[in-house]
């Protein structure tokens, strides 16, 4: 019997150990001491030495916030199965419905006595740091450092990094100013082999402010590799309200040294002392690191959460230049947009600048469907030299190949529709380019800025283009950009006022309409025949066809070149085989190079 009991006891111990291996252990921080039982340091040490995904909770007695002052560097997080350090578990703490704005945090990790150290040093995958106030450390607030096999799937969620527990006063990390520290820094050790990678890490819903130098820094430093990390839903450079300036001392978000395929999405980025977002490579006599394929979209850059000015001191987005003196170039194939609001920044909304070592190191940066306005210098500046005027044939080179901007010839508004015509003159196939149209909030240059994206079109083979849009009125102004088939985007073109159409007569002294238009057929419903009228402001190829409710073509009424003017044609209810069609609803559709419109017609036999 004793032998059986001994066997059961051993089995229980084995099962407990196996459960810990599979599911991890839970440790609870019960005091603010730096060492000993119940301390954060002790819990981190035990979690590192325990297999499985461990959890560190907090249950410190008394009213919070509670402050822990490490007297030395906290343990590196190196357990490959990871650990969850959960400040939200402290009684009274909460993320709320919309962190960081709604977060209430009760655990502060204050590094003022920790010496030259990071707040948290992550060198393993699968860790989560959430619900903590992390401030006053000499180096990074949180360091995510690549290791062999990868530092990945780490989550930094709902922390205040660089502020006090209330989120209203700056207490930044990087206090020793010995290097380019950050609130959160994802990087690779210098001279590490290619197996050292950091990827799929997420920085989400944090307040990141007052840090030296960056709010978030993502840097690759080859031959190691940093890629596919995401910075989303954070306040970067503001207080918890999203309205006051607590800017980080350099860029809000920095992506450099060949980091690639990272995303910066849906953040509030304002008040930072360099640029809101900086994307750049690195060049010296021995090193050329190209930073590429990063995507910045759906952010508010240069404004408060309620859209009042909170400028970043330099650019909203800077591609190629770091601060006033760091011209590093070497950034290609990055995308800015869609749906960023980039406004009120101290210099340009978006700057693209190339290193002088060659003329192709900062190309193919696509700028698309953003709202850009009220920036001090320009909306978009290629080359950091003001308006870059077009050259014949677009033969020059530089940032984004100094792509020629479009020329708008006219913008006429009639019956709620505005017909905009223009040309592009570029050195690649114009029919593969895209022209984006914007409603203007004008800057001093008269070239942009494009406050509201309206629509886009592609030119024909000769570079001519026209488009019919809604949402504009007489008295508005429009501007446009070109993006070529290499994803280079131009500066904004010269603004053109939207006007009422001016009557123009053709050679037969008939009025040429100012806009495309397809009228409703008459009569409708009809029995035997119905009249269809359409108008063309310019000559061109036209198709006018009848479709049934299944989307099949019933009759082609027009298919060929037509002069500008008003045209009328009749449909007698016959299909292309000259057979009568049945009672039904049919769709009349007109299509030109740049205009498509449809009307419904009811045939009753």
Q: Return the pLDDT at 593.
A: 81
The residues that bridge with 496 in the sheet, in sequence order, are: 478
Q: Return the pLDDT at 510.
A: 64
435 part of a folded domain:
yes
Grouping H, G, I as helix, E, B as strand and the rest as coil, residue 235 is strand
The residues that bridge with 601 in the sheet, in sequence order, are: 586
Provide the phi-psi class of 124: left if phi over 0, else alpha when psi is between -120 and 50, else beta. Answer: beta
Buried b (16+ CB within 10 A) or exposed e, 74-97: bbbbebebbbbbbbbbbeebebee
Q: Return the pLDDT at 16.
A: 40
Q: Which of 90, 85, 76 is nearest to 30 (CA)?
A: 90
140 and 43 in one domain?
A: yes
Query: Taking a C-beta distance cutoff of 8 angstroms, is the pair 414, 514 a contact?
Result: yes
When mean pLDDT is compared across 93-102, 117-126, 502-511, the lowest value belongs to: 502-511
Q: Return the pLDDT at 503.
A: 60
446 and 538 in one domain?
A: no
Q: Which of 300, 304, 305 is nearest to 317 (CA)?
A: 300
User: Domain range for residue 72?
Assistant: 22-249
What would the mean pLDDT of 571-580 be, rounded to a whole number?
A: 93
Query: Taking a C-beta distance cutoff of 8 angstroms, is the pair 258, 283 a contact?
Result: no
* Angle made by CA atoms 596, 602, 605, in degrees to the nearest 5: 140
Alpha carbon distances (Å) from 83 to 52, 89, 117, 125, 531: 8, 14, 20, 9, 74
**Residue 432 pLDDT more than 80?**
yes
572 and 462 in one domain?
A: no
9 part of a folded domain:
no
523 and 474 in one domain?
A: no
Q: Any residues with CB less than 8 A from the CB of 404 and at least 6 apart, and which? A: 390, 391, 394, 424, 425, 426, 482, 490
521 and 454 in one domain?
A: no
Alpha carbon distances (Å) from 52 to 23, 76, 127, 385: 5, 17, 11, 56
Query: Taking a C-beta distance cutoff of 8 angstroms, is the pair 86, 47 a contact?
Result: no
Output the domain CATH number for residue 565: 2.60.40.4070
565 and 493 in one domain?
A: no
Q: Give the up-direction half-sphere exposure of residue 348: CA atoms within 13 A in the CB hemisphere.
A: 27
CA 89 – CA 406 distance, rounded (Å): 56
Q: Return the pLDDT at 23.
A: 73
pLDDT tens by residue, 348-395: 999 999 999 999 999 999 999 999 999 999 999 999 999 999 999 999
Q: Any residues with CB less than 8 A from the CB of 2 and at least 6 apart, and which? A: none
Q: Is 543 exposed, middle or buried, given 0-12, 13-18 or 19+ CB atoms closer than 10 A?
A: middle
Distance of CA 112 to the CA centre of its chain: 35
Q: Any residues with CB less than 8 A from the CB of 15 and at least 6 apart, and which? A: none
CA 50 – CA 224 distance, rounded (Å): 29
More confident residue, 107 or 414: 107
112 and 27 in one domain?
A: yes
Q: Any residues with CB less than 8 A from the CB of 444 and at least 6 apart, and which? A: none
Q: Which of 165, 65, 64, 67 is nearest to 113 (CA)?
A: 67
What would the mean pLDDT of 514-536 be, rounded to a whole number?
A: 89
Structure token digits, residue 110: 């204050």
Q: Return the pLDDT at 500.
A: 85
Structure token digits, residue 559: 């298919």
**Residue 219 pLDDT more than 90?**
yes
SS3 track for 1-57:
CHHHHHHHHHHHHHHHHHHHHHHCCEEEECCCCCCCCCCHHHHHHHHHCCCCCEEEE
**Residue 17 pLDDT more than 90?**
no
583 part of a folded domain:
yes
More confident residue, 551 or 56: 56
Structure token digits, residue 335: 């995308």
Query: Taking a C-beta distance cutoff of 8 angstroms, is the pair 53, 24 a contact?
Result: yes
Structure token digits, residue 346: 């101290």
- Residue 513's pLDDT band (cuts 50, 70, 90): confident
The residues that bridge with 87 in the sheet, in sequence order, are: none
126 part of a folded domain:
yes
The DSSP symbol for 232 reads E
What would the mean pLDDT of 499-511 be, rounded to a whole number?
A: 66
CA 237 – CA 206 distance, rounded (Å): 11
* Number of structural domains the chain divides into: 3
Whether the bond into 213 is cis, omega within 30 of 0 = yes
Which residue in this structure is represented by tokens 């607590």?
A: 246
290 part of a folded domain:
no
pLDDT tens by residue, 283-335: 988 889 999 999 999 999 999 999 999 999 999 999 999 999 999 999 999 99
Proportion of the chain above pLDDT 90, given as a percent: 84
Output the domain CATH number for residue 463: 2.60.40.10
Which residue in this structure is represented by tokens 């022209």?
A: 435
More confident residue, 535 or 323: 323
503 part of a folded domain:
no
Q: What is the rounded average pLDDT for all residues in the chain?
A: 93
* Angle made by CA atoms 263, 266, 268, in degrees to the nearest 5: 115
Q: Which of 249, 282, 316 is the last residue of a domain?
A: 249
More confident residue, 456 or 508: 456
529 and 482 in one domain?
A: no
52 part of a folded domain:
yes
What would the mean pLDDT of 157-170 be, rounded to a whole number?
A: 98
586 and 468 in one domain?
A: no
* Torsion angle of the four alpha carbons 91, 92, 97, 99, in this order, in degrees rounded to the nearest 10: -90
597 and 482 in one domain?
A: no
Q: Which of 443, 457, 422 is nearest to 377 (CA)?
A: 443
CA 469 – CA 544 distance, rounded (Å): 20
Q: Return the pLDDT at 420.
A: 93
434 and 550 in one domain?
A: no
Q: Which of 449, 465, 497 is the last residue of a domain?
A: 497
375 part of a folded domain:
no
CA 176 – CA 140 distance, rounded (Å): 10
The DSSP symbol for 76 reads P
118 and 72 in one domain?
A: yes
Q: Which of 249, 268, 290 is the last residue of a domain?
A: 249
């Amino acid at each position: 019997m004793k032998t059986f009991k001994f066997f059961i006891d051993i089995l229980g111990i084995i099962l407990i150990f196996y459960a810990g291996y599979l599911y991890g252990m839970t440790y609870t921080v019960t005091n603010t001491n730096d060492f000993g039982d119940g301390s954060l340091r002790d819990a981190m040490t035990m979690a590192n030495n325990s297999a499985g995904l461990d959890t560190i909770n907090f249950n410190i007695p008394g009213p919070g916030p509670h402050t822990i002052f490490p007297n030395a560097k906290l343990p590196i997080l190196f357990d490959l199965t990871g650990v969850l350090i959960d400040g939200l578990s402290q009684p009274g703490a909460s993320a709320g419905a919309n962190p960081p704005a709604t977060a209430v945090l009760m655990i502060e990790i204050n590094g003022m006595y920790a010496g030259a150290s990071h707040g948290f040093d992550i060198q393993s995958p699968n860790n989560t740091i959430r619900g903590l106030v992390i401030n006053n450390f000499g180096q990074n607030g949180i360091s995510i450092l690549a290791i062999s096999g990868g530092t990945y799937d780490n989550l930094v969620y709902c922390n205040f990094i660089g502020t006090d527990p209330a989120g209203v006063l700056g207490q930044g990390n990087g206090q020793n100013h010995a290097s380019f520290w950050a609130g959160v820094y994802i990087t690779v050790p210098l001279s590490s082999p290619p197996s050292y990678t950091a990827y799929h890490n997420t920085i989400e819903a944090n307040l990141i402010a007052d840090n030296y130098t960056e709010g978030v820094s993502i840097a690759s430093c080859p031959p190691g590799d940093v890629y596919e990390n995401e910075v989303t839903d954070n306040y970067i450079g503001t207080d918890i309200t999203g309205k006051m300036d607590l800017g980080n001392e350099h860029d809000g978000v920095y992506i450099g040294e060949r980091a690639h395929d990272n995303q910066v999405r849906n953040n509030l980025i304002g008040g930072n002392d360099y640029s809101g977002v900086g994307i750049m490579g690195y060049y010296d006599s021995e090193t050329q690191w190209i930073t590429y394929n990063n995507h910045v979209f759906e952010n508010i850059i240069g404004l408060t959460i309620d859209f009042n000015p909170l400028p970043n001191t330099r650019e909203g987005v800077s591609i190629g230049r770091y601060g006033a003196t760091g011209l590093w170039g070497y950034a290609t194939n990055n995308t800015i947009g869609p749906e960023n609001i980039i406004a009120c920044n101290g210099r340009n909304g978006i700057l693209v600048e190339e290193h002088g070592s060659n003329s192709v190191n900062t190309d193919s940066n696509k700028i698309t469907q953003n709202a850009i306005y009220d920036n001090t210098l320009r909306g978009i500046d290629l080359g950091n030299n003001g308006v870059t005027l077009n050259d014949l044939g677009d033969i020059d080179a530089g940032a984004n190949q100094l792509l020629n901007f479009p020329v708008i010839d006219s913008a006429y508004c009639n019956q709620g529709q505005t017909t905009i015509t223009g040309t592009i003159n570029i050195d690649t196939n114009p029919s593969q380019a895209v022209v984006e149209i914007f409603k203007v909030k004008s800057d001093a240059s008269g070239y942009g800025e494009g406050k509201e994206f309206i629509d886009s079109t592609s030119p024909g083979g000769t570079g001519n283009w026209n488009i019919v849009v809604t949402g504009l009125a007489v008295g508005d102004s429009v501007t446009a950009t070109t993006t070529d088939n290499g994803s280079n985007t131009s500066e904004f073109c010269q603004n053109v006022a939207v006007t009422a159409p001016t009557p123009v007569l053709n050679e037969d002294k008939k009025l040429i309409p100012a806009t495309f238009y397809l009228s409703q057929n008459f009569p409708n419903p009809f029995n035997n025949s119905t009249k269809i009228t359409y108008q063309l402001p310019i000559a061109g190829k036209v198709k006018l066809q009848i479709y049934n409710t299944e989307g099949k073509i019933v009759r082609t009424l027009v298919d060929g070149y037509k002069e500008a003017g008003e045209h009328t044609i009749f449909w007698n209810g016959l299909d292309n085989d000259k057979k009568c069609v049945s009672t039904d609803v049919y769709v009349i559709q007109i299509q030109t190079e740049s205009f498509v419109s449809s009307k419904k017609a009811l045939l009753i036999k």
